[in-house]
Amino acid sequence: MDREKENKTFLLFLLVTGILFLILILLDIYTGSTRISFREVTQALFHPEAGNSQYATILYRFRLPRTFTAILAGIALSVSGLLMQTTFRNPLAGPFVLGISAGASLGVAILVLGFSSLFVFGAGTLLASSSIALAAILGAVGVLLLIMAVSLRVRDIMTILILGIMFGSAVTAVVAILQYFSTETMLKVFIVWTMGSLANVTGIQIRLLIALVAAGLLLTTFLAKDLNLLLLGEEYAQSAGMRIRHTRLLIFLTTGILAGSVTAFCGPIGFVGIVVPHIVRVTLQTSNIRKVFPATILAGASLLLLSDILSHLPGRQGVLPINSVTAILGIPVIIWMILQRRKLSSLM
């Protein structure tokens, strides 16, 4: 494929995904468990005082924050998936596979289940959301640092991946013990958290999430040059003058902020992080981070918006756990990619 055509593909992808993104935003706002007509939503959106105040409340207290959260979480998870796949040069790597989410859930489990007697959780108080977020980030970064410590000693990338999965399983075992000894109420709080939800992030929490995701994206932008070089492998990267440990540390920190913060506020949402970078790479036929990164942002936000719309079974009561929807959407894509390509290495 010549470069002009490649650039055209890239711009076309941005355009199509951009339009899709806008349509999905509107769909996400205009549909939901409560049936509200198109006109009433529009009115509530632009003249909240004029129309049905209940609709305005639904819109401003529930739908808009949820849409915002879906966009932020989609971006953060996809980008951290891209970071991990690039760093570990493994097409099946992602925050979930490497145990970052397991680490985050351990952090939350220790907080919710372990120290539940020390803290009081009111829904939506700053203390609760910030401490859950902090606990999740600490847990996520803890697992990442562990993997990083191992990766400095072990050269073989498969070994690190297997160790990551082992850490994840060990952490899950500890979480199970905490669950066993916790009270029923706190257990339910935790279980609901693990199912994932985009609905519980409101007000100041969203601002916090925006700040963290923005910080993560900014760091990724600064890392783009290094990430590109890392695609060739660490030996090449080092010979071109990269300070590997330094770069790895920054990448792990960025992943911890992005995946950890989303996991903290929304629970462990799987598969988005693995699937989106692949969809982008396969469509654009390039691994160049300068193209894959912006495209991943748009595609990631769109995919999670779509999952959110589907999870609300438009027009019906009841909401599916977001985690199940992303899995049901994501797993067929992964299977399809594996069967299509046969050689996994050709995915990078």
Partner 1 sequence: MIRLQQLLIGYRQRGHKRKVLSTALNFSASSGEMVAVIGPNGAGKSTLLRTIVRQHEPLEGNIDILGTSWHRYSSRDFARICSFVPTGQPPVSQLSVFEVTAMARYPYTGWGGRLKKDDKQAVAKALARVHLESMRDRLLGELSDGERQRALIARALAQDTPLILLDEPTAFLDIPNRYEVLQMMRRISQEQNKLFIFSSHDLGFILETADKIWLLYPGQAIEGAPEELLRDHALDTLFRNTDIHYDLHKGLHIPLQQRYHTTIRLTGDEDEIPWVEKALLRAGYPVSHSRTDNGEIHIEARKKNYRIWIKNQPEENFLSINSLILYLKNIQTGKA
Asked if 179 and 190 touch (Cβ cutoff 8 Å), the reply is: yes
Pairwise CA distance, residues 286 & 86, whole Å: 13
Q: Could you tell me the smallest distance in angstroms from the CB atom of residue 2 to partner 1? A: 5
Q: Could you tell me the smallest distance in angstroms from the CB atom of residue 155 to partner 1? A: 10
How many Cβ atoms from other residues are within 10 Å of residue 223's Cβ? 21
Asked if 134 and 212 touch (Cβ cutoff 8 Å), the reply is: no
Could you tell me which stretch among 22-30, 34-42, 165-173, 229-237 binds partner 1 (CB under 8 A)?
A: 229-237
- The site string for partner 1 over 250-289 (x = CB under 8 A, - otherwise) reads -------------------------------x---xxxx-
Q: Could you tell me the smallest distance in angstroms from the CB atom of residue 241 to partner 1? A: 3
Pairwise CA distance, residues 340 & 217, whole Å: 31
Pairwise CA distance, residues 254 & 223, whole Å: 9
For partner 1, the binding residue among 35, 47, 61, 225 (CB under 8 A) is: 225
- The site string for partner 1 over 7-36 (x = CB under 8 A, - otherwise) reads ------------------------------
Pairwise CA distance, residues 257 & 140, whole Å: 9
> Rule CB under 8 A: is residue 245 a binding residue for partner 1?
no
Q: Could you tell me the smallest distance in angstroms from the CB atom of residue 258 to partner 1? A: 20
Question: Which C-beta is closer to partner 1: that of 14 or that of 70?
Answer: 14
> Rule CB under 8 A: is residue 233 a binding residue for partner 1?
yes
Question: Which C-beta is closer to partner 1: that of 115 or that of 222?
Answer: 222
Of 17, 19, 18, 40, nearest in space to 29 by CA? 40
> Rule CB under 8 A: is residue 345 a binding residue for partner 1?
yes
> Rule CB under 8 A: is residue 238 a binding residue for partner 1?
yes
Question: Which C-beta is closer to partner 1: that of 63 or that of 278?
Answer: 278
The tally of CA atoms less than 13 A away on the side-chain side of residue 347 is 27
Q: Could you tell me the smallest distance in angstroms from the CB atom of residue 225 to partner 1? A: 3
Pairwise CA distance, residues 282 & 288, whole Å: 12
- What is residue 285's three-state secondary structure? coil
Phi–psi pair at 158, nearest 5 degrees: -65, -40
Q: Is 46 exposed, middle or buried (0-12, 13-18, 19+ CB in 10 A)?
A: exposed
- The site string for partner 1 over 91-130 (x = CB under 8 A, - otherwise) reads ----------------------------------------
Q: Could you tell me the smallest distance in angstroms from the CB atom of residue 346 to partner 1? A: 5
> Rule CB under 8 A: is residue 235 a binding residue for partner 1?
yes
Pairwise CA distance, residues 76 & 295, whole Å: 13
Size of the site for partner 1 (CB under 8 A): 29
Pairwise CA distance, residues 346 & 314, whole Å: 39
Exposure class string for 8-37: b at 16+ Cβ within 10 A, else e: ebbeebbeebeebbeebbeebbbbbeeebe
- The site string for partner 1 over 67-96 (x = CB under 8 A, - otherwise) reads ----------------------x-------
Pairwise CA distance, residues 131 & 111, whole Å: 8
Task: Report the helix count and the strand count for the chain, using DSSP H and E.
Answer: 14, 0
Could you tell me which stretch among 13-21, 29-37, 235-243, 309-317 binds partner 1 (CB under 8 A)?
A: 235-243
Q: Could you tell me the smallest distance in angstroms from the CB atom of residue 17 to partner 1? A: 19
Binding footprint of partner 1 on the chain (CB under 8 A): 1-3, 6, 89, 222, 224-225, 228-229, 231-233, 235-236, 238-243, 281, 285-288, 345-346, 348
